[in-house]
């Protein structure tokens, strides 16, 4: 099967790490394609960034359905940007990485803390936790104060910051598992888990595995109402998106 | 003062109705400018539509701040698309029409029902109610089954559908006020109120009045953290947006 | 238009400050009348105080409707005492100052903290936050430990206490705006805002501006059910109240 | 021991029924004194009624503590008016009848419905359910459409209305116990229970029994903070109340 | 009347303390029988412990109904293990001690903290608080770090630990009453209350008093649906339980 | 890998269907072993049934860990009985079928309804929905009125009942996916999905697939606190359980 991971930001070095993380536990007969959209910001740290990233995500999904024979999609940014819109335009499974990490943690720990990037992103993590109904299990959302791109530039410094922040979550907040709140953290999972003694999860590997079993069980998105295909209508601009359904939206 | 109302969809006939609704109760020294963005869908009924509408909204806000001397903004779609992103890129007040209708209803009724367009939009109304913390006052969300553009095409049919649906909300669900869940309904407020005997609110007029008093009281959006100006970073595409802060974002 | 602000306690010096705060941003054609009732406690810090204050508030509203030609009412105590009862006995808009501060903060900040008087009043602030559906946005309720009347007696000491307490709310609790939890604090708004760097709101000015636009939009309280005029019935005592509807309640 | 039941309304015929209900299961060494205050409305069906009733309740509690040697108090109106204020001015146990019915039902049924008087009172029942943290167990609040005084006038008609409404609660809403949402319903408990086949509770008998065991266990209200005695301060009017603590509040 | 207290663990020394606590405030005509089941763990600190304890509790209830003429039951472990199952197999009142402590505290304090044994048990206390709908009143759940059996072995050390932990709950968390989160703490109530200055409640005495008044008022568990007697069916093993209803379950 | 599915009831015909459902989508290198415990009821429809079933489940898990080389466990009853206790006594992944169905539905539909057996079981479904934090997505819980064993006896009648009840959930309650609330329904999934046009999920197949990927990703239950191995202590009875850790619990 073919799983397309869309890194919603346009920083290619991060996309490469995401490709590796996606392949880490993938089944031998699963092909992983990680891409960045052609438009959007270099990193996603504000609502504004998120809204400029999503049209590119839509384009990648439509392309995947119409020309790439993709079986399932992963949106690889911890805010799960555009997740419900993606589920409207395809009936193939779409999995967000925050959703995946939150989902998998539930089977192995009674609660979690999220360790994330900038202070301002905490509000967005709060919202993704609510979106997935996990308020009752979230012990805390802590931020390292480093930006997404600072992590990308200095892995060592990043690992230190993550490690210190995660320890506080375990010791002061009572976290019994740690979720890494940024797709840029995928390289740190194993080192952190060894150090902390509690399960540490990035979202990319779990999202790939969840996508695999959704395909295995032949699950398709319910088109009954909320996530039905969008109504046909005139759209100004966004030609790289609208070209895919000019005549054919189901 | 100058208030810019952004109709996030690209249907100009609707924008004209919105301009009238905005002017209805505006102070004599308030200038209302209602616009549609240059990009985006003809109506907003799905998450997909919403994400394609928001970049155009962003462009209109940046244009308003940089070249039009605008004092406050209204986003005139009942899902309040892009509201928090808008509050990041300007420090001028930004008001959503769902937010405005929900806010004003609270002062004059203990609860409300929302009457909206298609069935699929009910989920989006549910989310906007939650976004504004009004779950406890929302008696029901009912839909007429007509699309946004059908309302725009046949006002008479639209009024009938709205009237029947609203009556059910009052009689069966116990609604003590009615919120019109689409900016396209602004022409129906008075007829409906007479018929129903409970307060009926569209969001456009309340949003303009709320924007006025925010300007009167010299309120500015808190830039302390969550809604601070977005970090500077590379953005691919969206030149009509990025041109405004290539050198100057605060 | 004529807006009557009712300070539910009987301390006239406070009523004068409230009058000034009410006039601060009022439109030029708005007349502000601030009054204290003829009965009730000198300050409101307990449930007991609140219940002894409300009958006087009722009297002032009935007097306003029957003999003073008032267009809208503001109840100027941060617990919003008697708000729903007031909405029953008049169909003119009635706005509470906690309600007003909470409402306006929502447009300019993602959350708030309340800074209040005595420790024991924190429970009452908690309840007013719930009454207005703002639990999700309230970061903390902090008290200065000074009583209402101590603030009235020593403004300098009061400002210091408020400033220290507010800083903790911003720095330790993550508050992005501050609401002043007592009508006696209206003089401190501007000094505090300069010092803290986040929006600071008293409730009196916002309540007046909200009352103005409710009148502008010809909003009347829904008399459909919950806030309908009270049923006629025998009432023992409270002659200064019952005289207004002995024959005429609508 | 001596338990004083305060019927917050001023209808003496109802107070007599309440006295009987209070005595029904009282221990042989318990003396029940049911009273109505000297001021207040003939029945409580609106917020306005409630606020005019509470000062009289306060007076009866202070009188009970200072001149009648009372051991515990019951407030016998299903809205539990003034309950927290009462707990401030005495350290003797004070029990509300809604609180008592909700409490006892929890031990014998997984959920309840409330059957009450006028439609408008449903909102007040909703609030009393929230006040006691029982939202999760309340299946429905149904009203008979009859006023408090209509029940008092025509018992037969009242019983019929209660019976029909309760049956709907059991059959349509899944109620597994019924709470009678008005102190005026105490005479109907046994007939209804026989007819419905599920437990039926008025609040008066349970409140008396709960008051008894609080006294037995020597429980006193926590004066640590929220329910501490009110601060001493000037109070205008209400001489029949203030005379009790002019010199002596603890 | 005869009240049977079932200590779900099999440590007899604890059962004796529980017997004393049960008798402390019991009416003169109430006979208290405290027992431990014939099977189960020596203490209950994990979910696993709880599940091994409950079958023994069931056996004691069936024995009580069929051969001991019991009028009401108390389950004396702060997790209220098997409470709803117990209510299915008898129509006599069954009271849990967490339920009883939470219930009684509500009448005398606006909130509480729970002071418990091991850290791991905090999650179980959280769940019992939710089960009884008291999340809104629970200020904190603190653990002493000592195990149930350590308390039983060294009372002095236990009292010190409880006292220090309770003080933190009052001073740092704002608790206005303290609930002792283990049936093994019943000996400490009075010493603690004197030291802390806020009400301290164990659950055993309150549970007995609540059981008494449920019997006084002739309350029986609603058999309408959820807590109806279990359907007859084949059960493998558990002969000491099934022998009671081999032919006779109602 | 080896996955052991424990059907907590002792009806072998049901265990066989569960084995088939487990094998349906299992990977080719996964061995499925479905068993019933040696003790417990023939079906689980009450709290009482549940508590008599769990000790047998514990025994099967300990046996799996100590003598059968099992990699992961599935508990195959829709109430997920004993799930957290199971996670304490092993560090291998344990998945409940309600948990699995609720988890998988989230990826393909915005909400679900549960269709279950007897009316009395609805309360238990409510609790399992809360246990997994899915209250916000559950549209309704409907029961067919048939018992578990009636389904097992007459498949045709069962399918009809399920189909009618599911249709109501879709049409009247707005369900966009259906979860089958009993492990005995596994044979009906495909017929129902064809008929209803929305996704239909039993929990057994999803639980197996989730268990597989937890093993693939080498996930182990966090032993940090809440789900740590139970403390060693004396346990009376339950020799078939305690024999496994008499000397060796980790």
Q: Confirm whether B64 is domain-assigned.
A: yes
Subunits touching F (CB < 8 Å, at least 3 pairs)?
A, E
Q: Confirm whether F250 is domain-assigned.
A: no
A103 with A61, same domain: the answer is: no
* Residues D132, E206: C-beta atoms closer than 8 Å: no
Pick from A55-59, C146-150, F50-54: least confident: C146-150
At which residue do the structure tokens 């949402």 appear? D181
What does the pLDDT read at residue E9? 96
For residue C10, give every residue at least 6 positions away whose Cβ sits within 8 Å of its Cβ, in sequence order, or none.
C36, C37, C38, C39, C40, C41, C42, C56, D234, D235, D236
Task: Say if CB C179 and CB C129 are below 8 A apart.
Answer: no
For residues D83-117, one letter each, b for 16 or more C-beta atoms within 10 angstroms of the residue's C-beta and e for the rest, the string is bbbbbbbbbbbbbbbbbbbbbbbbbbbbbbbbbbb
DSSP H stretches of helix in chain E: 12-24, 47-67, 83-89, 97-108, 122-131, 148-153, 155-173, 189-196, 204-216, 239-242
pLDDT in tens, B149-158: 888 788 888 8
- pLDDT above 90 (res D31): yes
Distance between CA C124 and CA C8 in Å, rounded? 15
* Residues C84, B110: C-beta atoms closer than 8 Å: yes
Q: Confirm whether E247 is domain-assigned.
A: no
For residue C51, give every residue at least 6 positions away whose Cβ sits within 8 Å of its Cβ, in sequence order, or none.
D51, D54, D55, D58, D82, D85
Residues present in chain C in total: 250
Pick from B162-171, C31-40, C184-193: least confident: C184-193
CB atoms within 10 A of CB D27: 17
What does the pLDDT read at residue B247? 55
D25 with D80, same domain: the answer is: yes
The structure tokens listed for B236 are 């691919």
Distances (CA, A) of F211 to C190, F2, F35, F70, F98: 60, 10, 17, 11, 14
pLDDT in tens, F6-28: 999 999 999 999 999 999 999 99
β-strand partners of A72: A3
Task: Say if CB F127 and CB F154 are below 8 A apart.
Answer: no
End-to-end CA distance of chain D: 23
- pLDDT above 80 (res F30): yes
Task: Say which of B137, B206, B224 has its CB closest to residue C217.
Answer: B206
Over range C188-203, report the average pLDDT: 94
* Predicted TM-score of the model (pTM): 0.96
D161 with D215, same domain: the answer is: no
Distance between CA F103 and CA A3 in Å, rounded? 20
Distance between CA F8 and CA F6 in Å, rounded? 6
CB atoms within 10 A of CB B6: 29
What does the pLDDT read at residue C247? 55
- pLDDT above 90 (res D153): no
- pLDDT above 90 (res C71): yes
DSSP string, E69-83: --SEEEE-STT-TTH
Ramachandran angles phi, psi of F134, nearest 5°:
-110, 15
F148 with F177, same domain: the answer is: yes
Task: Say which of A46, A55, A226 has its CB closest to residue B51.
Answer: A55
What does the pLDDT read at residue D247? 55
% of chain C residues with pLDDT over 70: 98
Residues present in chain E in total: 250
Pick from A205-219, C78-92, F98-112, F113-127: least confident: F113-127
Task: Say which of C108, C170, C214 has its CB closest to residue B107.
Answer: C214
At which residue do the structure tokens 């197996």 appear? F208
Q: Which secondary structure element, helix H or strand E, spans residue D48, and what is its range? A: helix D47-67
Task: Say if CB F129 and CB F135 are below 8 A apart.
Answer: yes
Ranges of chain E with pLDDT below 50 = 249-250
Distance between CA C75 and CA C57 in Å, rounded? 8
Structural domain range at position B152: 98-202
Q: Confirm whether C114 is domain-assigned.
A: yes
Q: Confirm whether F146 is domain-assigned.
A: yes
Residue of D nearest to E213 (CA): D209
Kind of pairing between the strands at F72-75 and F94-96: parallel
Shortest distance, CA D135 to any CA of chain C (angstroms): 14
Q: Confirm whether C248 is domain-assigned.
A: no
A78 with A147, same domain: the answer is: no
- pLDDT above 60 (res C248): no
Q: Please, is E146 exposed, middle or buried when counting C-beta atoms within 10 Å of its C-beta (0-12, 13-18, 19+)? A: buried
Task: Say which of D52, D231, D237 has its CB closest to residue C235.
Answer: D52
What does the pLDDT read at residue A117? 87
Task: Say if CB C232 and CB C248 are below 8 A apart.
Answer: no
Residues of E in contact with F58 (CB under 8 A): 48, 51-52
Distance between CA A51 and CA B61 in Å, rounded? 14
DSSP string, B119-169: GGGHHHHHHHHHHTT-GGGEEEEEE-S--HHHHHH-HHHHHHHHHHHHHHH
* Residues F224, A133: C-beta atoms closer than 8 Å: no
pLDDT in tens, D107-147: 999 999 999 988 988 888 999 999 999 999 999 999 998 88
β-strand partners of E33: E4
Residues of B in contact with C216 (CB under 8 A): 25, 27, 209
For residue B154, give every residue at least 6 positions away whose Cβ sits within 8 Å of its Cβ, in sequence order, or none.
none
Q: pLDDT class for D149, splitting at 50, 70, 90? A: confident
For residue C16, give every residue at least 6 positions away whose Cβ sits within 8 Å of its Cβ, in sequence order, or none.
C34
* Residues F213, A214: C-beta atoms closer than 8 Å: no
Residues of D in contact with C50 (CB under 8 A): 85
Shortest distance, CA A190 to any CA of chain B (angstroms): 30
Q: Please, is F13 exposed, middle or buried when counting C-beta atoms within 10 Å of its C-beta (0-12, 13-18, 19+)? A: exposed
What does the pLDDT read at residue A249? 44
Q: Confirm whether A250 is domain-assigned.
A: no
Q: What share of chain B is helix, strand, coil (3-state, %, to 5)?
A: 50, 15, 35
Residue of C nearest to B133 (CA): C133
Higher-scoring residue by pLDDT: F137, B182: F137
D185 with D110, same domain: the answer is: yes
The structure tokens listed for C129 are 């936050």
- pLDDT above 50 (res F34): yes
Shortest distance, CA C43 to any CA of chain D (angstroms): 8
What does the pLDDT read at residue B249? 44
DSSP string, B110-121: S-EEEEESSGGG
* Residues F41, E226: C-beta atoms closer than 8 Å: no
DSSP string, A174-242: --SSEEE-SGGGGGGHHHHHHHHSS-EE-SHHHHHHHHHHHHHTT-----SSTTSPPPP--EES-HHHH
pLDDT in tens, C102-141: 999 999 999 999 999 889 888 889 999 999 999 999 999 9
For residue D88, give every residue at least 6 positions away whose Cβ sits within 8 Å of its Cβ, in sequence order, or none.
C46, C47, C48, D227, D228, D229, D230
Distance between CA A229 and CA A223 in Å, rounded? 7
Using alpha carbons only, give the angle F60, F65, F68 rounded to the nearest 5 degrees.
80
Look at residues C141, C99, C111, C136 and name the one whose alpha carbon lies nearest to residue C124.
C141
For residue F200, give every residue at least 6 positions away whose Cβ sits within 8 Å of its Cβ, in sequence order, or none.
F166, F177, F178, F180, F188, F189, F190, F192, F193
* Residues D230, C58: C-beta atoms closer than 8 Å: no
- pLDDT above 80 (res D192): yes
Subunits touching E (CB < 8 Å, at least 3 pairs)?
D, F
D112 with D174, same domain: the answer is: yes
F108 with F12, same domain: the answer is: no
- pLDDT above 60 (res A95): yes
β-strand partners of A33: A4
β-strand partners of E116: E143
Q: 3-state DSSP call for residue F161?
A: helix
Shortest distance, CA E232 to any CA of chain F (angstroms): 10
Per-chain mean pLDDT for chain C: 94
Helix axes E155-173, E189-196, angle to 10 degrees: 40
C130 with C185, same domain: the answer is: yes
Task: Say which of C39, C89, C231 has its CB closest to residue D147.
Answer: C231
Number of domains chain A contains: 2
The structure tokens listed for A134 are 């996990």
Rg (CA), chain B: 18
Shortest distance, CA A139 to any CA of chain B (angstroms): 20
The structure tokens listed for B105 are 């209803």
> Any idea what the CATH number is for the domain that residue B62 is in?
3.40.50.12500
Residues of F with CB under 8 A from a CB of A: 25, 27, 84, 93-95, 99, 103-104, 106-111, 132-137, 170, 174, 176-177, 197-199, 205-206, 209-210, 212-214, 216-217, 219-222, 224-227
The structure tokens listed for F8 are 């907590």
Mutate to test the interface with B, among A46, A86, A88, A132 (most CBs of B within 10 A): A46
What does the pLDDT read at residue F149? 83
Q: Which secondary structure element, helix H or strand E, spans residue C45, and what is its range? A: none
CB atoms within 10 A of CB C25: 17
- pLDDT above 80 (res D246): no
* Residues C107, B225: C-beta atoms closer than 8 Å: no
Mutate to test the interface with D, among E222, E226, E227, E228 (most CBs of D within 10 A): E222
Shortest distance, CA D193 to any CA of chain C (angstroms): 30
Distance between CA C9 and CA C56 in Å, rounded? 9
Q: Confirm whether B250 is domain-assigned.
A: no
Distance between CA B63 and CA B38 in Å, rounded? 12
Task: Say which of F40, F84, F149 has its CB closest to residue E237.
Answer: F40
Residue of F nearest to E233 (CA): F42
Residue of B nearest to C131 (CA): B136
DSSP code, position D67? H
CB atoms within 10 A of CB E67: 9
DSSP code, position C153? H
pLDDT in tens, C43-62: 999 999 999 999 999 999 99
* Residues D176, E222: C-beta atoms closer than 8 Å: yes
A145 with A233, same domain: the answer is: no
Over range F221-241, report the average pLDDT: 96
Distance between CA A140 and CA A111 in Å, rounded? 10
The structure tokens listed for A174 are 């009572």
A63 with A121, same domain: the answer is: no
F90 with F103, same domain: the answer is: no
């Amino acid at each position: 099967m073919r799983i397309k991971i869309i890194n919603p930001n346009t920083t290619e070095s991060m996309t490469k790490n995401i490709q590796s993380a996606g392949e880490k536990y993938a089944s031998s007969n699963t092909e992983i394609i990680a891409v960045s959209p052609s438009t959007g910001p270099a990193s996603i740290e504000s609502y504004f960034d998120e809204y400029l990233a999503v049209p590119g995500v839509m384009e990648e999904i439509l392309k995947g359905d119409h020309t790439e024979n993709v079986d399932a999609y992963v949106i690889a940014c911890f805010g799960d940007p555009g997740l419900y819109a993606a589920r409207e335009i395809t009936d193939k499974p779409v999995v967000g990485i925050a959703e995946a990490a939150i989902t998998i943690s539930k089977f192995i720990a009674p609660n979690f803390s999220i360790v994330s990037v900038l202070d301002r992103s905490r509000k967005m993590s709060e919202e993704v936790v609510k979106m997935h109904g996990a308020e009752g299990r979230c012990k805390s959302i802590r931020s390292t104060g480093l930006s997404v791109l600072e992590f990308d530039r200095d892995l060592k410094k990043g690992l230190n910051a993550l490690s210190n922040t995660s320890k506080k979550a375990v010791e002061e907040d009572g976290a019994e598992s740690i979720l890494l709140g940024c797709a840029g953290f995928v390289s740190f999972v194993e080192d952190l888990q060894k150090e902390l003694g509690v399960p540490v999860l990035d979202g990319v590997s779990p999202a790939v595995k969840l996508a695999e079993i959704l395909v295995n069980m032949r699950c398709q998105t319910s088109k009954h109402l909320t996530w039905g295909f969008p109504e046909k209508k005139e759209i100004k601009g966004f030609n790289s998106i609208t070209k895919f359904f000019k005549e054919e939206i189901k």
